[in-house]
């Protein structure tokens, strides 16, 4: 009971001594069930493989950083403001109610008992503290209920498509409705108490509970009826709350814990760098069974909330390919759980035909664009698990014949085209100047040209344009001629790890001999692997292997002594220094720009290409999906070498978007790219989509050369001849 005149509320009102004992027993039971379930989950993770690097180093900093990400909800606001607000209301409302319940328990079960033992039983749950407490609880609880209401609307009324899929189940319904009933039930219980205690004047601070009490009065509920019904409402609310707590480790609610843990253990370079493999050629490097996945990959599976954000941004999924990133992660989780429960027999994780958890065609559909990872609010590292399964396909020999041909071309000739290496620099024959051989002469910029600019006719024009820019800027640059091989970025993502290691070893050995100040890359794929992956390799483990064609046995560029740049970054610096003499008014044309995945999402470089476009005077009309929301061309992850049936090519959809969805619309004259693979895919999409007469695909380098040509005193014809555009 509460003494008259004291501003507080009765705790365990009308529950009785037996009810109080029963409640505490159930609290202990629910806590035990929760602890047991959490222990089982953590123990399950210990059966996974060790990760390739320490994910819990500097743990305090990781915890604080993760808290900032989780509590700000900033990733949830990305591309979905309404969803971000909804989740913020739910999370902060839930946390506030949890904190409030904890405060009440501290007062009731600790503070009062300690002060009682000292002979002066007291409570801090009175007066101004109680009034402030009640106001905050009602306000935050209301946000919680509003957030849950929005979630119910999006799921059941609006039926937002990404919330539904083959893994949608009654578990999702139970989770959302349990939260709703917890929120509403708390207010109904509060309203009954306020009515049953005769509307104490100070309880107006509990404005939602007071409103519910008024509604109950209008509905004909009397004070005595409220007193009689209150224990039923209280027990219903309490049992639901305790049942929810006990169920957390055994279903979807566990994401409230696993998601935070997943963010704590995240790799900030996930995707842009991939885990290495043991030097033992007989080592298991793929996904032969579920135990081959690391503990972090298992945690990824449990952290998935089925929100479908990855599904909504996946270009493969949008193009009708059989890949939904969410389903892959949840298929693995379902198989793992069924195997643990003895509900299924062991089967192949991935295979080309036959019974398996994941079909080979699903992984072949992945473009390695990292859109799924960028959109995921809980930092699931899809690409790491996908690469593991691709390695398994490679180990099994279950790769497409054209991909196998590409592997063979690289092994036999050093490039993806299968052309003789001594033809690698033939693209430069049409230039009116000679390009320095970096093997024979010191250079400031070592230019890695790449396969497509070296051998593909359309991209050779881009290479000549870039050569003209570097020559015009009067910088010391050179290339490796036939000692340049394919960089290995995409075959690594296709699972061909040992061939990748051989290529990496060859290149770092060559780079070490040349010792340039800077390396510039035509291709963002090369830029990514040189910058993020070559320095991670443990070359000494493979240097003595007779299968490897290199002897380099040291670290390479681990401290970043050599600047690795995409060419747009290097040339943007030259423009800033005035080396190209551009005034920013040379071209009068309207363009749009496509952000390459490996330059943008992988490496956060969005401005250098745009600054170059602006430097030419061209008017840039942005694509609706730009920067980290850019839509992949379809060439990454080996897509360039595959013939895949799809409803609409990603490149065709991007052409349509450029001409219909940009602010300039059909006035866009040029579709500007900064990647040789993008150039190849969009030239193809322009033809197959019927856009040849509507828009021109050009590289940023070609646009810059057009601007240089337009300047007085520049030999335009010579420049056109040098860049191969005179045709």
pLDDT of residue 118: 87
Q: What is the pLDDT of residues 496-541, one digit of tens each?
A: 999 999 999 999 999 999 999 999 999 999 999 999 999 999 999 9
pLDDT computed for residue 286 by the predictor? 87
* Same-domain check for residues 582 and 500: yes
Neighbours of 310 (CB within 10 A): 25
Q: Give tens-digit pLDDT for 409-452.
A: 999 999 999 999 999 999 999 999 999 999 999 999 999 999 99
Q: How many residues are given for the chain? A: 727
pLDDT band at 380 (very low <50, low <70, confident <90, very high): very high
Which residue, chain included where needed, has tokens 């059941």? Answer: 156
Residues 483-494 have a mean pLDDT of 97
Q: Do 205 and 253 have their domain in common?
A: yes
Asked if residue 627 and residue 508 are part of one domain, the reply reads yes
CA-closest candidate to residue 598, choices 558, 556, 653, 640: 640
Residue 370 CB contacts under 8 Å (≥ 6 apart), including other chains? 271, 272, 383, 597, 601, 602
Q: What is the pLDDT of residue 5?
A: 65
d(Cα 552, Cα 651) in Å, to the nearest integer? 40
Helix pair 457-472, 567-576: axis angle to 10 deg: 30
413 and 390 within one domain: no
Q: Is residue 648 part of a domain?
A: yes
Q: What is the pLDDT of residue 710?
A: 87
| CB neighbours of residue 426 within 10 Å | 13
Which CATH number covers residue 380? 1.10.1060.10
Query: Quick check: 97 and 144 in contact, CB under 8 A?
Result: yes
CA distance 330 to 314: 16
201 and 326 share one domain: no
The pLDDT tens digits of the residues spanning 629-650 come to 999 999 999 999 998 877 789 9
389 and 409 co-located in one domain? no
Distance CA 378, CA 261 (A): 9
32 domain-assigned: no
| Distance linking the first and last C-alpha atoms of the chain | 95
In a domain, 13, yes or no: no
| Average pLDDT of the segment spanning 33-44 | 96
pLDDT band at 719 (very low <50, low <70, confident <90, very high): very low
Q: Note whether 100 and 240 are same-domain residues.
A: yes
Q: Are residues 612 and 700 in the same domain?
A: yes
The whole domain housing 338 covers 288-398
Q: 398, 417, 449 — which closes off a domain?
A: 398
Same domain for 363 and 377: yes
Looking at every residue in the chain, the average pLDDT score rounds to 94
Looking at residue 280, its pLDDT comes to 76
Q: What is the mean pLDDT of residues 166-191?
A: 97
pLDDT digits (tens, 9 = 90+) for 569-591: 999 999 999 999 999 999 999 99
pLDDT for res 684:
96
Q: Are 167 and 226 in the same domain? A: yes
What does DSSP assign to residue 289? S
Q: What is the pLDDT of residue 113?
A: 87
Residues 520 and 576 in one domain: yes
Helix, strand, or coil (residue 127): helix
pLDDT at 726 over 80: no
Residue 88: predicted pLDDT? 97
**Of 365, 398, 431, which residue sits at a domain end?**
398
Q: Are residues 159 and 298 located together in one domain of the fold?
A: no
Per-residue pLDDT for 724 more than 50?
Answer: no
**pLDDT surpasses 60 at 716:** no
User: CA nearest 658: which of 688, 700, 686, 629?
Assistant: 686
Tell me the percentage of the chain whose pLDDT exceeds 70. Answer: 97
At 490-506, the pLDDT tens digits run: 999 999 999 999 999 99
- 479 membership: H or E segment, kind and range: strand 477-479
3-state secondary structure of 564: strand
Interatomic CA distance for residues 689 and 303, integer angstroms: 39
Q: Tell me, yes or no, whether 283 lies in a domain.
A: no
Angle CA(286)–CA(292)–CA(298) in degrees, nearest 5?
120
Structural domain ending residue among the three candidates 398, 418, 453 = 398
Confidence of residue 3 (pLDDT cuts 50, 70, 90): low
Tokens of 698: 């050009």
Average pLDDT over residues 61-80: 94
């Amino acid at each position: 009971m509460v003494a008259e005149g004291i501003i507080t509320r009765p705790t365990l009102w009308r529950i009785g001594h037996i009810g109080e004992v029963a409640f505490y027993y159930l609290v202990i039971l629910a806590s035990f069930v929760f602890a047991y379930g959490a222990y089982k989950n953590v123990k399950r993770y210990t059966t996974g493989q060790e990760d390739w690097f320490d994910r819990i180093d500097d743990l305090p900093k990781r915890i604080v950083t993760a808290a900032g990400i989780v509590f700000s909800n900033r990733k949830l606001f990305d591309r979905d403001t309404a969803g971000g607000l909804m989740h913020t209301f739910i999370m902060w409302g839930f946390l506030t109610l949890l904190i409030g319940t904890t405060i009440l328990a501290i007062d009731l079960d600790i503070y009062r008992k300690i002060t009682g033992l000292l002979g002066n039983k007291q409570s801090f749950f009175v007066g101004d503290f109680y009034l402030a407490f009640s106001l905050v609880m009602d306000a935050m609880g209301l946000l919680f209920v509003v957030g849950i209401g929005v979630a119910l609307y999006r799921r059941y009324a609006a039926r937002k498509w990404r919330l539904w899929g083959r893994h949608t189940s009654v578990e999702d319904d139970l989770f959302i409705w349990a939260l709703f009933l917890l929120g509403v039930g708390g207010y109904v219980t509060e309203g009954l108490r306020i009515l049953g205690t005769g509307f104490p004047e100070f309880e107006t601070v509990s404005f939602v509970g007071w409103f519910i009490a008024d509604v109950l009065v209008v509905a004909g509920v009397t004070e005595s009826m409220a007193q009689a019904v209150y224990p039923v409402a209280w027990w219903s609310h309490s049992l639901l709350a305790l049942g929810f707590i006990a169920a957390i480790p055994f279903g979807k609610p566990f994401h409230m814990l696993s998601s935070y843990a997943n963010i704590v253990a995240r790799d900030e370079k996930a995707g842009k760098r991939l885990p290495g493999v043991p030097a033992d050629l007989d080592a298991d490097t793929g996904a032969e069974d579920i135990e081959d996945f690391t503990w972090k990959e298992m945690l990824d599976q449990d952290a998935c909330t089925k929100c479908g954000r990855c599904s909504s941004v996946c270009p493969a999924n949008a193009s009708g390919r059989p890949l939904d990133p969410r389903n892959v992660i949840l298929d693995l989780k379902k198989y793992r759980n069924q195997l643990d429960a003895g509900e299924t027999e062991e089967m192949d994780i991935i295979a080309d035909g036959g019974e398996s958890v994941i079909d080979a065609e699903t992984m072949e559909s992945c473009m390695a664009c990292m859109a799924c990872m960028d959109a995921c609010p809980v930092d699931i590292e899809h690409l790491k698990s996908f690469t593991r399964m691709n390695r398994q396909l490679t180990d099994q020999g279950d790769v497409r014949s054209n991909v196998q041909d590409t592997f063979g071309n690289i092994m036999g000739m050093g490039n993806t085209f299968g052309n003789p290496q001594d033809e690698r620099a033939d693209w430069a024959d049409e230039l009116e100047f000679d390009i320095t051989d970096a093997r024979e002469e010191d250079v400031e910029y070592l230019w890695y040209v790449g396969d497509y600019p070296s051998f593909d006719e359309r991209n050779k024009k881009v290479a000549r344009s870039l050569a003209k820019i570097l020559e015009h800027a009067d910088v010391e640059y050179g290339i490796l001629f036939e000692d340049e091989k394919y960089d290995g970025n995409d075959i690594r993502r296709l699972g061909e790890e040992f061939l990748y290691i051989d290529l990496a070893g060859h290149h770092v050995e060559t780079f070490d001999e040349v010792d340039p100040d800077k390396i510039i890359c035509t291709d963002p794929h090369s830029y990514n692997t040189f910058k993020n992956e070559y320095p991670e390799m443990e070359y000494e483990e493979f240097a003595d292997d007779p299968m490897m064609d290199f002897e380099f046995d040291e670290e390479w560029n681990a401290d970043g002594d050599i600047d690795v740049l995409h060419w747009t970054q290097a040339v943007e610096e030259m423009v800033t220094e005035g080396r190209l003499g551009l005034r920013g008014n040379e071209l009068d044309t309207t363009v749009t720009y496509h952000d390459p995945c490996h330059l943008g999402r992988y490496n956060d470089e969005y401005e250098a290409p745009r600054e170059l476009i602006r430097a030419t005077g061209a008017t840039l009309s942005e694509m609706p999906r730009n920067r980290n929301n850019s839509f992949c061309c379809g060439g990454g992850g080996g897509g360039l070498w595959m013939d895949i049936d799809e409803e609409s090519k990603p490149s065709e959809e991007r052409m349509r978007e450029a001409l219909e969805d940009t602010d300039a619309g059909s006035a866009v004259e040029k579709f500007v790219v900064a990647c040789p693979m993008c150039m190849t895919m969009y030239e193809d999409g322009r033809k197959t989509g019927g856009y040849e007469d509507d828009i021109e695909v050009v590289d940023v380098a070609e646009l810059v050369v057009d601007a240089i040509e337009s300047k007085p005193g520049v030999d335009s014809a010579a420049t056109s001849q040098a860049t191969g555009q005179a045709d």
